[in-house]
Amino acid sequence: MHSVTSSKTSASHSKCSTVQVEFGGQKVDVPKGGYYDRYRMNPNLDEVARDPAVGPDIDFFRKIPKSLVDSRVGQIYAPNFYYRTKSVQLVLLAPLESLRSKLPAPLEPITAFPGYGLIALTFYSYLVCDNDPYNEVSIAIIVRQPGKGSYSTTQLLSSIWNRTFYGYVLALPVDTEIARVRGVYGYQLPKWLAHIDLEMDEYNIKAGVTAADGIPDLTLEVPLPALKNFPSQSSIGINNAINEIDGKWHQVTVQTNPLLGAQRLLPGDVKLSRGQGPLSKLLNELDVSTILRMDVLKDAQMILNMPTPLKAFNDIKL
């Protein structure tokens, strides 16, 4: 079964049969009999391993046990597990002046070339996860590591070598209400509802986002590159999203365990079309240009951790 089929099946299931739950003081509909309905964020991993949509190799999750923690939305089990995901990310050049205009102090964009920094545009499809299937699009500025005074070039090379990046998220639309509520009330991230698709067949990748009012926003088309298998936990990547929560700087860490994917430098066959929606307008304001790199993950596992205070920034007097 292709991932696309799994995604569409889950989506149609959620439309046909839902149950209302309370999360963070909000009432939201989730798929009846789905992961959230059954487990409330604290699944039995032995049962998860028997789910054919997940597969038996979930050691990545067993090494980081969940615990009941306090959050802005009350006590929840964390971290959040994403058992089967796919994504396509474009890393684009943008003028440093444009990036600085979107960054609050003391954040600084990392310099890739003289006068230019980096934007990451990512389409995600979470096929099996603790809060049920959903899709997401992220636009983030890649920033300098908080508290590090080394040159931008040194930091960038170190980030690439260690597969560890820091970013400031400008936009993060999703297509389910529980994902929106979790992001807005739990993390104070810029999430809103939109129509999002990400499909990968044997030959092509197609992705798109349409604003909730039907206005076309972004579309992406590119041939599927030759993929390679990664032994589980051999190439774990770490993305750190930096943002303010209740007036204090925090860092949210996402660990990604790639299983099947590819990376291409300076891909020349990517068709990224902009419309009139908020993401297109944001990319226009950022004046993005050359696509430096494309990362495709057709199969991966992810762990989303709770926000942690960022001492390097909170001690700064602005």
126 burial level (CB within 10 Å; 0-12, 13-18, 19+): buried
Average pLDDT over the chain, rounded to an integer: 90
Check whether 313 has a pLDDT greater than 90: no
Confidence at residue 311, expressed as pLDDT on a 0 to 100 scale: 82
Compute CA distances 168 → 136, 140, 197, 216, 252, whole Å.
16, 5, 23, 25, 10
Confidence at residue 75, expressed as pLDDT on a 0 to 100 scale: 86
Check whether 2 has a pLDDT greater than 50: no
| Residue partners of 150: CB distance under 8 A and separation at least 6 | 158
Confidence at residue 13, expressed as pLDDT on a 0 to 100 scale: 39
Other Cβ atoms within 10 Å of 160 Cβ, number: 11
Q: Which of 117, 198, 94 is nearest to 165 (CA)?
A: 117
Confidence at residue 4, expressed as pLDDT on a 0 to 100 scale: 33
Determine if residue 188 is left, alpha or beta; phi over 0 gives left, psi from -120 to 50 gives alpha, anything else beta.
left
Confidence at residue 71, expressed as pLDDT on a 0 to 100 scale: 87
Confidence at residue 154, expressed as pLDDT on a 0 to 100 scale: 67
- Region 210-214 average pLDDT: 94
What are the boundaries of each domain within the chain?
80-314
Q: What percent of the chain has pLDDT over 90?
A: 80
Confidence at residue 267, expressed as pLDDT on a 0 to 100 scale: 95
Alpha-carbon distance of 71 to 50, in angstroms, equals 31
Please tell us whether the domain made up of 80-314 is placed in CATH 3.50.50.60: no
Q: What angle do CA 266, 269, 272 make, to 5 degrees?
A: 95
* pTM metric for this prediction: 0.91
Alpha-carbon distance of 311 to 83, in angstroms, equals 31
156 token code pair: 């960038």
Each residue of 250-269: pLDDT tens digit? 999 999 999 999 999 999 99
Each residue of 109-164: pLDDT tens digit? 999 999 999 999 999 999 999 999 999 999 999 999 887 665 666 667 766 666 78
Confidence at residue 148, expressed as pLDDT on a 0 to 100 scale: 67
Confidence at residue 158, expressed as pLDDT on a 0 to 100 scale: 67
